[in-house]
């Protein structure tokens, strides 16, 4: 393990951040490999053991990202996880209902504009879901708190929210689980 990177990774994870496979280059909005993800991937067993010995589970079950949760917690902070899940689903449904491709959320040159998010927030059906999970009425700020501040999304040069690998993998997992329940 690289001790400098390990310390930086520790600080990110202990502050509730997710380590994505890719990050956004703020100079050109291009996705590029994340040095922290590469470091962890190269030493996954060492990281799992280190965090286990510190009372945390090192979660690598969702593709293209890593995060931690306290041992003994089945789903980590369930309130936060529920909010993030609801937010991702509502955003995805909202933009597709507005005739945008789902990929706009994940496109580093596009992303979710403030106008898109505000339009979703005004939809009564979506607002009911958001209210049920106690997501505040200012959806743009909630996206920042729940997604950007946790590195599930980033802000591109246009000021739009781009959902990164962690958010995309979480979204795909949620959709797959829903599809499995229907079948």
Domain count across the chain: 2
Q: Is residue 183's pLDDT more than 50? A: no
- Do 65 and 123 lie in one domain? The reply is no
Give, in order, the Cα–Cα distances in Å from 159 to each of 29, 70, 125.
11, 33, 27
One domain, residues 48 and 125: no
Residues 28 and 90 in one domain: no
Tokens of 115: 């106008």
Residues 50 and 85 in one domain: no
Q: What is the tally of helices (H) and strands (E) in the chain?
A: 8, 7
List pLDDT tens digits, range 87-136: 999 999 999 999 999 899 999 999 999 999 999 999 999 999 999 988 88
Judged against a pLDDT cut of 80, whether residue 144 lies above it is answered with yes
Mean pLDDT of the chain: 90
Domain check: are 63 and 89 in the same one?
no
Query: Would you say the pTM of this structure is higher than 0.85?
Result: yes
Confidence grade of residue 61 (pLDDT, cut at 50, 70, 90): confident
95 and 133 in a single domain? The answer is yes
The phi, psi pair for 101, rounded to 5°, reads -70, 145
Domain that holds residue 153: 78-182
* 3-class state of residue 57 by DSSP: strand
Residue where one domain finishes, among candidates 37, 70, 103: 70
In whole angstroms, what is the distance from residue 175 CA to residue 179 CA? Answer: 6
Residues 87 and 126 in one domain: yes
Find the range with the poorest average confidence among 61-65, 77-81, 115-119: 77-81
User: What sections of 73-164 are H helices per DSSP?
Assistant: 78-97, 114-122, 124-132, 139-143
């Amino acid at each position: 393990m690289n001790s400098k990177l390990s310390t930086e990774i520790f600080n990110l994870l202990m502050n509730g951040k997710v380590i994505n496979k890719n990050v956004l280059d703020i100079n050109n909005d291009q996705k590029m490999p994340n040095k922290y993800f590469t470091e962890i991937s190269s030493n996954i067993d060492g990281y799992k053991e280190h965090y286990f010995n510190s009372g945390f589970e090192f979660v690598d079950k969702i593709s293209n990202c890593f995060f931690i949760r306290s041992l003994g917690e089945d789903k980590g902070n369930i309130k936060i996880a529920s909010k993030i899940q609801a937010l991702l689903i509502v955003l995805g449904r909202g933009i597709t209902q507005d005739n945008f491709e789902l990929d706009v959320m994940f496109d580093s040159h596009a992303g979710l504009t403030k106008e898109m998010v505000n339009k979703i927030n005004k939809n009564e059906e979506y607002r009911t879901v958001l209210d049920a999970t106690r997501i505040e009425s200012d959806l743009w700020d909630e996206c920042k708190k729940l997604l950007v501040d946790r590195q599930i999304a980033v802000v591109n040069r246009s000021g739009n929210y781009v959902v990164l690998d962690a958010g995309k993998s979480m979204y795909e997992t949620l959709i797959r689980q829903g599809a499995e329940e229907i079948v």
